[in-house]
Amino acid sequence: MTRIDKVFRRLKEKGEKALIPFITAGDPDYETSRRLAIEIAARGADLLELGIPFSDPLADGPTIQASSSRALKNGVHFASVLALAGDLRRETDIPLILMGYYNPILQYGLEKAARDAAQQGIDGFIIPDLPLEEAASWRAATGAAGVSVIFLAAPTTGPERLKTLGRLTQGFLYYVSVTGITGARMELTRELIPELLRVRALVNCPIAVGFGISTPEQVKKLAPYVDGVVVGSAIVQQVAQFSGAKTIKHIGDFVASLKTPLRGGKDA
Amino acid sequence: MPDRRGHFGQYGGRFVPETLMPALLELEKAYRRISREPEFRRELSWYLGHYVGRPTPLYCAHHLTDALGGPRIFLKREDLAHTGAHKINNTVGQGLLARRMGKTRLIAETGAGQHGVATATVAALLGLECEIYMGSVDIRRQRLNVVRMEMLGARVVPVSSGSCTLKNAMNEAIRDWVTHVRHTHYVIGSVAGPHPYPMLVRDFQAVIGRESKAQVRRQTGRLPQVLVACVGGGSNAMGLFYPFMDEPVRFIGVEAGGRGLTSGHHSAPLCAGTVGMLHGSVGYLLQDSWGNIREAHSLAPGLDYPGVGPEHSYLKDTGRAEYVAVTDEEAMEGFKLLARTEGILPALESAHAIAYLKKLAPQYTQEDIIVVSLSGRGDKDVDVVAKELGKRK
């Protein structure tokens, strides 16, 4: 059983849901990312997504695009993200998931990427521009290294495809809440909860919902229908205004406020 | 080619967010079905004949031939098609397809603005809503085409990220498509992007090669020795080459060498790039060792793109086609040469193909024939050309 599976099982036993925050590795710089990740893990995150900066992040909105280019300007690349994950692994047991686009991983070499990731204690990968149809080589490489491949499903995904994705994804299925790109949104779409019920009826693995979720109120609304919630842009936005130790504490508080409605029991 | 999953050997494929996968599968299915329907084929060929103005002439360029002193040069006059470039062949095809699929909105990326104008034109013709993504640098250097698109009722959305050119416009168009995929058709303008686009755009552009083949036979009684076309994404080149694939004819694709292949400022992934994945397909591209996409450079906005179509990548590896590069400066010379000898202002993109003739012609005799794709007209480029000529005085 992988570290990701264990977390979802433990939470299920406790009647809790997973909080999965996202930050871009190396934004605003390597050391801040490291300290932020540790703070986030300590303040209620159950899994952590680390973004690999890329020049052309076409599934991302302006917030994560800007974050990605700040990290690139600092010279952060795939190997530095692996190193950051390795540093984090020495300090925390939280499952670490890398989220990044295919080309940097392809250039690094699929087998080498999977092997080195496993060595740094990375648990899984989410690659938004690598759909099922093109994932055979990557699945083979990660399978050999013992790293999970997490697939995304979207509102446009039909029932047969959902079933297949649910069967082949490892750890959990990442459900994209909107037909669109990443970025904080004021309102959840009206169709989201019925869609989550539809997904739940078709797949057996844990389901995490992400894209656009930015407030504890939204998290609370979604908690009953999913096993986990991903929050990215809303955190990255605060990193953008980074001003030292105060920001780290501030983001820690925000993460704690997102986790509260996921704890289950009466206060949910 | 391609195989069922859209691969040309190791190239091509469908590397897109899950949100778009169902749309690509639907598009492929619809295309395979609709493109075989006699009614669709009649409709397409009617529009190509009565609206686009096809067949475009294959013009024997006597004065250019004399100036180069070697083989007979024939120009395939795509510049005479409606809207002034070959792009309309594809947008009419995709527009009719989108309408049959029940889509009400077209979006497109554009570099030189030619594809944007061609998409806006078809949207106006078919009564579809239209938005065009264009880099802010290109908006500046191709002002005329921006005005044309707006007059046609399209909204031109400026893109101000990265180099503010074609690559960034395409990123933004893909983001729009992810968001509005249910009622929007993305009209990709080249033989690039995810499957089925490289196949579909090639098929719609193959009219260039089919006509050329019939015309050159009629005029000379035989086939040419060489075909020459500029390559950005590579749609006019693929359209010209494809119907000659099984003939003993040499294919030469001319990339934009910018300030020179060793300068780092060029748009020549086939000549000086490496294999990677960009905008949904695997092919040659300009990237750093960490897989980040590098900015391209060319004086010709339509060639200013760091990637190239997957089928060109395949033809390079198999040796079926050769790819060369021509610098900004040489392209300017090509522009002037055609203007002075034939009274034709070529698009700066097409001027790259013309420029390469200076190197190619000496390899052939007066008995030989070269067909060059004159993919677009140069009116859009007069400001850029005037500025460049001014600099060199």
Residue A92: which CATH number? 3.20.20.70
Partners of residue B14 in chain A, C-beta under 8 Å: 131, 133-134
């600092």: which residue's tokens? Answer: A74
What is the predicted pLDDT for the residue at A24? 98
User: Do the Cβ atoms of B15 and A107 come within 8 Å?
Assistant: no
Model confidence at A267, pLDDT cuts 50, 70, 90, reads: very low
Q: Check whether A264 has a pLDDT greater than 80.
A: no
Mean of pLDDT values over B276-295: 97
Average pLDDT over chain A, rounded to whole?
96
Confidence of residue B214 (pLDDT cuts 50, 70, 90): very high
Beta-carbon separation of B16 and A129 below 8 A: yes
Residue at A135 is within a domain: yes
A152 lies in a domain?
yes
Residue type, B255: E
Name the closest residue on chain A to residue B274, using Cα atoms. Answer: A107
| Inter-chain residue contact A156 with B290, CB threshold 8 Å | no
Are B292 and A77 within 8 A, CB to CB?
yes
Please give the share of chain A, as a percent, with pLDDT higher than 90: 94
Q: What is the pLDDT of residue B247?
A: 98
Please say whether the beta carbons of B144 and B379 come within 8 A.
yes
What is the distance, to the nearest Å, from the Cα of residue B54 to the centroid of all Cα atoms in its chain?
18
CB contact under 8 A, A78 and B290: yes
Confidence (pLDDT) at B162: 79
What local confidence, expressed as pLDDT, does residue B121 receive?
98
Spatial CA neighbour of B271 closest among B228, B218, B313, B303: B313
Q: Give yes or no for B10 touching A (CB within 8 A).
A: no
Angstroms from A61 CA to nearest CA on chain B: 8
**CA atoms B121, B123, B126, B127: torsion sign:** negative
Q: Model confidence over A35-57: pLDDT tens digits?
A: 999 999 999 999 999 999 999 99
Digit-coded pLDDT (tens) for B86-132:
999 999 999 999 999 999 999 999 998 999 999 999 999 999 999 99
- Chain B residues closer than 8 Å to A133 by CB: 5, 13-14, 21
Indicate the Cα dihedral angle B213, B218, B223, B226, nearest 10°.
-70
Probe site for chain B from A52, A58, A137 (most B CB atoms < 10 A): A58
Distance from the A43 Cα atom to the nearest Cα atom in chain B, whole angstroms: 31
Residue B183 — pLDDT band, cuts 50, 70, 90? very high
- Which candidate in A81, A150, A156, A203 is best for mutational testing of the B interface (most B CBs within 10 A)? A156
* Residue A268 within a domain: no
Cβ of A103 within 8 Å of Cβ of B174? The answer is no
> Nearest 5°: CA angle at B312, between B308 and B316?
120
Report yes or no: B300 and B307 within 8 Å, Cβ to Cβ: no
Chain centroid to Cα A143, Å, comes to: 20
Chain A residues with CB-CB distance to B under 8 A?
54-56, 58-59, 61, 65, 72, 77-79, 102-108, 128-134, 151-158, 161, 165, 176, 178-181
* Domain-located, residue A234: yes
pLDDT reported for residue A268: 42
Q: Tell me whether residue B375 is one of the annotated catalytic residues.
A: yes
Q: Do B18 and A179 touch (CB under 8 A)?
A: no
- Residues from chain A that touch B280, judged by Cβ atoms under 8 A, are 129
Q: Which whole-number Å values give the CA distances from B297 to A213, B264, B290, B356, in the listed order?
A: 39, 9, 20, 18
Over residues A94-106, the mean pLDDT reads 98
- Which structure tokens are listed for B336? 């002037």
Instruction: Tell me how far apart the alpha carbons of residues B135 and B350 are, in angstroms, rounded to a whole number.
Output: 21
Average pLDDT over residues B73-84: 98
Residue type, position B43, single letter: E
A20 lies in some domain: yes
| Minimal-distance CA residue of chain B relative to A106 | B276
Query: Could you give the percent of chain B with pLDDT greater than 90?
Result: 96
Which residue in the list A49, A87, A195, A227 is annotated as catalytic? A49
pLDDT tens for residues A203-248? 999 999 999 999 999 999 999 999 999 999 999 999 998 888 899 9
Predicted model pTM: 0.96
Query: Is the Cβ pair B18, A72 closer than 8 Å?
Result: no
How far is Cα A161 from Cα A179, in angstroms, rounded to an integer? 16
Closest CB to A129 among B17, B290, B292: B17
pLDDT average, residue stretch A135-150: 98
Query: Which positions ≥6 away from A85 have C-beta within 8 Å?
Result: A25, A50, A96, A98, A117, A120, A121, A122
Give the nearest partner residue to A107 out of B15, B23, B291, using CB atoms.
B291
The answer to the question of residue A267 being in a domain is no
Residue A265's pLDDT band, with cuts at 50, 70 and 90, is low
Given an 8 Å threshold on Cβ–Cβ distance, is B279 in contact with A58? yes
User: Each residue of B244-271: b (16+ CB within 10 Å) or e?
Assistant: beeeebbbbbbbbbbeeeeeebbbbbbb
The residues, ordered by sequence, that sit 6+ positions from A10 with a Cβ below 8 Å of its Cβ are none
Which one of B18, B175, B180 would you mutate to disrupt binding with A, by most A Cβ within 10 Å of its Cβ? Answer: B18
Is the confidence at residue B20, as pLDDT, over 60? yes
Range of the domain at A219: 3-262
pLDDT at A110: 98
User: What is the per-residue pLDDT for A185?
Assistant: 85
**Is pLDDT above 70 for A5?**
yes
Residues from chain A that touch B171, judged by Cβ atoms under 8 A, are 56, 58
Provide the number of structural domains found in chain A.
1
Please report the pLDDT score of residue A186 as a whole number: 87
pLDDT the model gives residue B164:
87
The separation between the first and the last C-alpha atoms of chain B, rounded to the nearest angstrom, is 49
Name the residue facing B161 among A65, A155, A165 (closest C-beta): A65
CA distances from A116 to A48, A82, A86, A97, B5 (A): 18, 8, 10, 14, 30
What pLDDT does residue B393 have? 64
Catalytic, out of A27, A39, A46, A60 = A60
How many angstroms away from the CA of A173 is the closest CA of chain B?
12
Candidates B76, B87, B103, B316; catalytic one = B87
- Residue A66 inside a domain? The answer is yes
Tens digits of per-residue pLDDT, B192-205? 999 999 999 999 99
d(CA B331, CA B359): 12
Q: Among all residues of chain B, which has the CA nearest to that of A108?
A: B290
Which of B13, B181, B279 has the CB atom closest to A134's CB atom? B13
Contact B211, B242 (CB under 8 A): no
Instruction: Please indicate whether, in this complex, the C-beta atoms of A55 and B182 are within 8 angstroms of each other.
Output: no
Report yes or no: A161 and A217 within 8 Å, Cβ to Cβ: no
Q: Which helix (H) or strand (E) holds A61?
A: none
At residue B161, the pLDDT reads 83
Is A18 among the domain residues?
Answer: yes
Chain A residues touching B15 at Cβ < 8 A: 102, 129-131, 134
> What ipTM describes this predicted complex?
0.95
Helix (H, G, I), strand (E, B) or coil at B77: strand
